[in-house]
Amino acid sequence: MLLITRELPQAVAMRAHAEHEVRALMLTGPFEPDHLLAHLENVDAILCTPSDKFDATLIMKLPQAIKVIATFSVGLEHIDLDAAAARGITVCNTPDVLSTATAEMALTLMLMAARRAGEGERLVRAGRWTGLSPNFHLGTGIAGKTLGIFGMGRIGRELAGMARGLGMVIHYRNRNRLSPDLEAGAIYHADDDQFLQSIDVLSINTPGGDATNGWLNAARLAVMRPGAIVVNTGRGSTVDDDALIAALRRSHIRAAGLDVFNNEPHLHPGYLDLENIVLLPHIGSATLETRNAMGFLALDGIARVLNATGSPQHISRRDVP
């Protein structure tokens, strides 16, 4: 039996029901481990989301019958992979199919931040627009500017292609330098400070996890160019919220666009009264086409494990760029 934690897109739900006996929890709020544990009788597979935290304590309590946890995400930060491996549970995620949608969201945030679009929209809705004048609501353009991509994986490379089309120059910081065909002219930095000093816009495209926890801290923000822009569609854990809020308050960072946060959906309240920030509710992959593709990929992973035809593709794969 397949346990599904949250409501799925219709086409994915139909396929899930065609392939499995399904128990659907239909959670809408916080994930309660005890609630999950109470519904696992006869379950051998779980389809979860990044809102459902499978830490070591929960994984150790899962019944022996559970063979696979598939997550409706490329990110795996919410699942303790070592604990799952220790229990012999395979973890599947949904890479590749969301790269374009997430890169589009990074681009959206970048343009919105640069052109103060969120602030402008709030102004119009509040009836505070008094008309056009030469100095009214000036932002900055992105053509000719340097985009720094932190995490040049599939999403980062997709974003690089889009930004090149808008006339941006691409720099990147990555664990390893890419091959020339993947780099496509982007300039690699092996050093954080040199990278951050070279760019006008920082896009965070890493999947989170211990290696990048709190990476964008006060010291790194301080070396960024005055007036730089920060965009994050990766994971909130990569950013030190207090440090970013302080940098936005004194306009050292001109503007930011965030789709992901620490402690979602309870983001740091310091963001809420800042005008120079665009805040979105983790919708990077939220197109129907993409969500269908993610759901189908998750079901493919579950089928491979349950039918024991497991190709290693998409299975227990940490999407570290």
Q: Which residues are identified as catalytic?
A: 235, 264, 282
Pairing state of beta strands 277-279 and 201-204?
unpaired
Bridge-partner residues for 257, per DSSP?
231, 278
Residues 130-189 that bind ligand DGY (CB under 6 A): none
Q: Which is nearer to ligand DGY, 44 or 158 (CB)?
A: 158
Q: What angle do CA 12, 102, 214 make, to 5 degrees?
A: 115
Closest CB 268 distance from ligand DGY, rounded Å: 18
Comparing CB distances to ligand DGY, the nearer of 71 and 146 is 71
Q: Which of residues 230-289 bind ligand DGY (CB under 6 A)?
A: 284-285
d(CA 246, CA 244): 5
Within 13 Å, how many C-alpha atoms sit on residue 121's CB side? 10
Size (the chain), residues: 321
Q: Which of residues 191-220 bind ligand DGY (CB under 6 A)?
A: none
Structure tokens at 319: 């999407």
Least Å from the CB of residue 238 to ligand DGY? 12
237 DSSP assignment: G
- Residues binding ligand DGY: number (CB under 6 A): 7
Stretch that binds ligand DGY, among 67-75, 112-120, 185-193, 300-308 (CB under 6 A): 67-75
> Site for ligand DGY (CB under 6 A): which residue of 3, 68, 98, 297?
98
Q: Which residue is nearest to ligand DGY (CB)?
A: 75
Write down the least CB distance from residue 295 to ligand DGY, Å. 11
Which residue stretch of 68-76, 173-181, 187-195, 212-220 sits at the interface with ligand DGY (rule: CB under 6 A)?
68-76
* Residues 137-169: b if buried by 16+ CB within 10 A, e if exposed: eebeebeebbbbbbbbbbbbbbbbebbeeeebb
Ranges within 30-59 binding ligand DGY (CB under 6 A): 50
In whole angstroms, the minimum distance from the beta carbon of 76 to ligand DGY comes to 8
What does DSSP assign to residue 14? Answer: H
